[in-house]
Structure 1
């Protein structure tokens, strides 16, 4: 695999904004390849792989109390590398890998009733390592791996409980890419395709069902002074106050780098590096004015620590 990335040293980090606070550890077992979503002011984390077993427990995080509460267990097959999205006040989880099989079932979580309901299966092939987005109260799922690398893209509308195939990704196929939603558009990048880290970066417009190629995560589209993250797989993303954040992941080695994306000008700004251990296959979410990162792995070691990130503060050494 290509596209090496050099970590910033402490001197380079000194003038970068971003401060971290270690919060109450995730209450489930340490794991990687979990899913997360936010409904209202609470986050939900579940499924994943603890190094021996796939998991199906689910937990709610209340940031106002810095507390975790166990919720109704995910009723589908225990799995890792699934995807999740939110729409109309519900959470959705599906696809993934159970250790033997690729999966395509999908489930809806109601936080008010603390219940799960199975919905129509994902209509694409059974797969893991896909990307997912929430846009305009609809969910989008695509790419991943079903024995081959994929780039198809599907929309789920909870109002009609139906899946619709949309235009496939306007770039490369990918496994374990990153995705986020910002100001009404979807963004997809990174991931691995046939052993190579993909550097294309794409914007999806749900109004026109079209993809636009943005500046790639390499020097080909950049001026000498441009800052940008290298491509990576198994990264964390979240959005805060009109900006998106790309955190951790791997490009052959687990990473701690954190980058802020501004869609006005297609610009990246490096933030202070993640202060927890370098990791991949973590989960991230945003509540209020803060981002959160938890779980993940580095090699065979898995994590259960939780870190709160404030991108506006200067870290004090």
Structure 2
């Protein structure tokens, strides 16, 4: 009888261990090459793919001295380099004192790619006045075209307007492309207004039209493209001292073939449903997203990480085939939330870089230049955390 009890306890122990969340979580982070520009948050990011060659561009953003950057850096998976010989073509930011230098940078902009061109626009400039700078607060509604092959900005500003009516300037929007059109929407602007409007850009005529969007108003959301569809998720619906109190839980899918939106499963726990028992840990604002096909089955999936919320260290994989989210290994090295970093994929792996400990020069703002690469479907070794 005693032998039986020992065997039963051993089997029960193995069963409990196999069901533990820690054993089910996969994924590891490897430290990559540090970003070579000045530390920043709220940058913009886009990728150029030419045959087997991939180049990621990261630029603009908000710095430690409250400066708005206008520079651009490129990353090939092995090294970062500043893109020289070209300047962001936006006009100088206006200020109350015309004798002081205000620069022409901005942060919290978005970008989408069509062919050889990246379109960079919207964004924000925070008010600043000191001995050298006099800068007015402004939300932008203009875009600029960057030729990724020649690494030059081209043309004039493309202002967002629909039938002659300007679209309201905004920051912290989302953007994506289906290869034919660009799409921009959500964000927030003057008077703390949080938007849910969405616009489609035609590069042939350089014109905009408003399209429907059935999801909630939000800012600081993510948009990712996988399996011929774009997904808009996360973000917050209101501006408050606690962004996590207004997080958005609906996920919207835009089908490229039908050009229509579909609401997916909400990021909320459902009683009696085992699969989403931890979904309340997903919602957040100012997260990053990327895709990777380096998992065991070789298929491309989207991932989200970082941001501000109740569980910013958690990392999640989205299975678009089943509309399910799976928790990956936490980012154990994080002591605090990381806001407004940028996420991208190159060589089939997902990455994030830059970001800060708060937004827009908040108290004790820390800014980062580390770059991290995500390795899916492996056990965390912790040797990569340092």
Match for residue 163 of structure 1 among 208, 215, 227: 208
TM alignment of 1:195-210, pairs within 5 A: 195=240, 196-210=246-260
Alpha-carbon offset, residue 273 of structure 1:
2.1
TM alignment of 1:211-290, pairs within 5 A: 211-220=261-270, 223-226=273-276, 227-228=278-279, 229-241=281-293, 242-251=300-309, 255-274=312-331, 277=334, 278-290=337-349
Task: Identify the range of structure 1 (210-219 vs 223-232) with the bigger mean alpha-carbon deviation.
Answer: 223-232
The Cα offsets for residues 38-60 of structure 1, whole Å up to 9 and x where unpaired, read as 11101000011013111111000
Is the CA contact (8 Å cut-off) linking 1:16 and 1:272 kept in structure 2? yes
Q: What is the number of equivalent residue pairs in this alignment?
A: 304
Alpha-carbon offset, residue 198 of structure 1:
1.0
TM alignment of 1:52-131, pairs within 5 A: 52-63=66-77, 65-71=78-84, 72-76=86-90, 77-99=104-126, 100-117=137-154, 118-123=156-161, 124-131=167-174
Is the CA contact (8 Å cut-off) linking 2:43 and 2:108 kept in structure 1? yes
Question: If each structure's strand is expressed as a fraction of its own residues, which one has the higher value?
Answer: 1
CA spacing shift, 1:152–1:224, aligned 2, 3 Å: same
Distance (Å, rounded) in 2 between the aligned partners of 1:245 and 1:159: 32
Is the CA contact (8 Å cut-off) linking 2:115 and 2:179 kept in structure 1? no
Distance (Å, rounded) in 2 between the aligned partners of 1:121 and 1:203: 27
Aligned position for 2:181:
138
Q: Higher RCO, 1 or 2 (CA under 8 Å, sep at least 6)?
A: 1
Distance (Å, rounded) in 2 between the aligned partners of 1:75 and 1:54: 14
Alpha-carbon offset, residue 150 of structure 1:
0.7
Distance (Å, rounded) in 1 between the aligned partners of 2:285 and 2:117: 27
CA spacing shift, 1:73–1:222, aligned 2, 3 Å: farther
Which stretches in structure 1 are left out of the alignment for 5+ residues? 1-10
The Cα offsets for residues 113-154 of structure 1, whole Å up to 9 and x where unpaired, read as 221123421222111111111213321100111221111111
Alpha-carbon offset, residue 15 of structure 1:
4.6
Let me know the Cα RMSD of the aligned residues: 2.0
Question: If each structure's helix is expressed as a fraction of its own residues, which one has the higher value?
Answer: 2
Which stretches in structure 2 are left out of the alignment for 5+ residues? 1-19, 91-103, 127-136, 162-166, 241-245, 294-299, 359-364
Does structure 1 residue 177 correspond to structure 2 residue 212?
no
